[in-house]
């Protein structure tokens, strides 16, 4: 699955996928970025804000989170 496909999933499905991410800063950033109610939009600056809030380098965050999301099953 890609991040764009993840974004299109319903709120409940995105929330359920959070448990597949190891506990810690990556899960925390996933929740900040994707575990929100409909109506909020994914933006470029979200990566920067989440990385700062969780104390992770932005590039490390992008790489790690993208790799984890790629392991999620693709939507049907």
SS3 per residue for the chain:
CCHHHHHHCCHHHHHHHHHHCCCCHHHHHHHHHHCCCCCCCCCHHHHHHHHHHHCCCHHHHHHHHHHHHHCCCCCC
pLDDT for position 22: 86
- Model confidence at 43, pLDDT cuts 50, 70, 90, reads low
Q: What's the pLDDT score for residue 68?
A: 92
Question: Given pLDDT bands bounded at 50, 70 and 90, which one contains residue 32?
Answer: confident
What confidence score (pLDDT) does residue 44 get? 59
């Amino acid at each position: 699955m890609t991040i764009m496909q993840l974004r299109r999933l319903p709120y409940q499905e995105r929330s359920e996928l959070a448990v597949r991410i190891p506990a810690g800063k990556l899960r925390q950033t996933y929740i900040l970025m994707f575990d929100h109610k409909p109506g909020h939009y994914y933006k470029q600056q979200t990566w920067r804000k989440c990385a700062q809030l969780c104390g992770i380098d932005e590039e490390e965050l992008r790489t790690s989170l993208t790799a984890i999301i790629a392991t999620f099953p693709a939507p049907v």
